[in-house]
Amino acid sequence: MSSKEKPTLGGTRIKTRKRNIAAPLDPAAFADAVVQIYLDNAGDLELVAKSLESSDLNFSRYGDTFFEVVFTGGRTQPGTTKPDEGEKHSYSVLDCEPKREAILPSVLYIQKILRRRPFLIKNLENVMRRFLQSLELFEENERKKLAIFTALTFSQKLSGLPPETVMQPLLKDNLVAKGLVLPFITDFFREYLIDNSVDDLISLLKRGKMEDNLLDFFPSAKRSAEGFSEHFTKEGLVALVDYNDKKMFEVKLKEMKSALTTQIAEERDIAEVTETVKQRVKDTKIPDIEVVRILWDVLMDAVQWSGKNQQQNANSALRQVKAWAKLLNAFCSSGKLELELMYKVQIQCYEDAKLMKLFPEIVRSLYDQDVLAEDTILLWFRKGANPKGRQTFVKALEPFVNWLEEAEGGMRKRERERTGPGVF
């Protein structure tokens, strides 16, 4: 066994490797340096961008601080939008006039910065989200500037800026209730629509998961379709009002169709279903033509089709027509509406191969059940048919039409009943 003493560390100084030394954060010094660059270049953003590019500032560590300086002119106090101690410049977004031409240069300047340092997009997102969820801390004209800036960032397609994380904070209940969000989003919409279409705006809102929340921008007391139309019409955003009206109409149609589907599947009494339709028409003001279309769609959707067996399909469709004829009759109250029903039948038979040959039988059944009048059928045959498959369907219905034309006046229907379906 060796008698040598084991080495000890006594009196020896261990050197710490440099990579283990954590340099303290100093955002204040970083902010002051950025502010000084603004001041040295008298706010000329072209020169500021060049100076920032040639500097050795640590943007990866102080990205949030950088955008605070861009927006407010200096570093802000933690958790607030108030300026912290330190240098400040007067060329920030919030120091601009609340006008497009004054704010656009800042957006283009940021775009240039992001092209060189794309990692800063996350910091821009952080700062914008923080400011938007703190709208109550800004003055009215400052909120307007933020709205214009936000719209321009998306209009100019700043790479990678996510609509959802930036704009979802606007749906905070307290901001909406205070009436701060509605003027902000109105300014945002107006600015964005200068360079983009309503479809572009809706696409942006979809990506931000806000398309279905347009009414949520309104305080609860004003949250209605009428309030939406009144507000945005007054603000000159008629295209947005038209879009929302169309969307609301589609929702009403969907709800009505869903209710009818349930009642028909449960085989409710026709009188009850008829009353349900009438009440919904009264409440939603759905046009009669749309009602006829919905009724036919729902009735045919409820049919149990049997694949390629034409006869079984025909029997199923005709049974459905006969069972619900009184419902159709209640809403096909004019020649125009009867003609619309014929269009629906024609288009469905044209688009669905299994129904292609059933058209004349369905029309005959609707006639037998007093849903379609002779004059309607003759008008469709002579000049009212939809272009889709017109020649095919006109030819298929020709024997029945010939019989109608040969019959005289009020004898048509009685003669039809006496001679039976074998006439054509």
Nearest Cα residue to 146 out of 191, 179, 176, 114: 191
CA 291, CA 331: separation in Å to the nearest integer? 8
| Position 262 in a domain | no
Which strand (E) or helix (H) includes residue 194? helix 181-195
- What CATH number did the domain enclosing 334 receive? 1.25.40.180
Nearest Cα residue to 208 out of 125, 136, 144: 125
Instruction: Clarify whether residues 117 and 194 are in a common domain.
Output: yes
Q: How far is CA 109 from CA 57, 73, 274, in A?
A: 17, 15, 63
User: Over 80: is that where the pLDDT of 5 sits?
Assistant: no
Tell me the residue type at 367.
Y
pLDDT score of 356? 81
Instruction: Clarify whether residues 174 and 229 are in a common domain.
Output: yes
Q: Locate 301 and state its tokens.
A: 């959707």
Those residues with Cβ within 8 angstroms of residue 331's Cβ, 6 or more apart along the chain or in another chain: 277, 288, 291, 292, 295, 337
Of 232-236, 316-320, 323-327, give the lowest mean pLDDT range. 316-320
List beta partners, residue 83: 76
Band (138; pLDDT cuts 50, 70, 90): very high
Which strand (E) or helix (H) includes residue 329? helix 325-331
Instruction: Clarify whether residues 291 and 223 are in a common domain.
Output: no
Instruction: Clarify whether residues 97 and 41 are in a common domain.
Output: yes
User: 245, 277, 307: which is the final residue of a domain?
Assistant: 245
| Position 98 in a domain | yes
Q: Higher-confidence residue: 390 or 411? A: 390
Instruction: Clarify whether residues 331 and 193 are in a common domain.
Output: no
The domain of 143 spans: 24-245
User: Over 90: is that where the pLDDT of 196 sits?
Assistant: yes
Instruction: Clarify whether residues 167 and 47 are in a common domain.
Output: yes
pLDDT score of 317? 84
Looking at the 3D structure of the chain, how many domains does it have? 2
Of 23-27, 189-193, 420-424, give the lowest mean pLDDT range. 420-424
Of 31-35, 174-178, 213-217, give the lowest mean pLDDT range. 213-217
| Position 173 in a domain | yes
pLDDT score of 148? 96
The proportion of the chain whose per-residue pLDDT surpasses 90, expressed as a percent, equals 57
Q: How far is CA 378 from CA 331, 340, 361, 394, in A?
A: 20, 14, 16, 10
Instruction: Clarify whether residues 294 and 217 are in a common domain.
Output: no
What is 255-296 written as a DSSP string? HHHHHHHHHHHTT--HHHHHHHHHHHHHHH---HHHHHHHHH
User: Over 90: is that where the pLDDT of 164 sits?
Assistant: no
pLDDT score of 199? 92
| Position 252 in a domain | no
Rg of the chain in Å (alpha carbons): 35
CA 93, CA 148: separation in Å to the nearest integer? 10
| Position 2 in a domain | no
User: 220, 245, 270: which is the final residue of a domain?
Assistant: 245
Q: Higher-confidence residue: 124 or 303? A: 124
Instruction: Clarify whether residues 196 and 314 are in a common domain.
Output: no
User: 183, 213, 245: which is the final residue of a domain?
Assistant: 245
Tens digits of residue pLDDT in 32-66: 999 999 999 999 999 999 999 999 999 999 999 99
Instruction: Clarify whether residues 136 and 213 are in a common domain.
Output: yes
| Position 254 in a domain | no
| Position 80 in a domain | yes
The answer to whether 317 and 356 are in contact (CB under 8 A) is no
Tens digits of residue pLDDT in 10-19: 555 555 454 4
The proportion of the chain whose per-residue pLDDT surpasses 70, expressed as a percent, equals 87
Instruction: Clarify whether residues 49 and 117 are in a common domain.
Output: yes
Those residues with Cβ within 8 angstroms of residue 366's Cβ, 6 or more apart along the chain or in another chain: 321, 325, 328, 341, 345, 372
Instruction: Clarify whether residues 208 and 299 are in a common domain.
Output: no
Of 58-67, 101-110, 240-249, give the lowest mean pLDDT range. 240-249
User: Over 50: is that where the pLDDT of 286 sits?
Assistant: yes
| Position 13 in a domain | no
CA 74, CA 207: separation in Å to the nearest integer? 32
Instruction: Clarify whether residues 34 and 166 are in a common domain.
Output: yes
pTM exceeds 0.85 for this model: no
pLDDT score of 347? 92
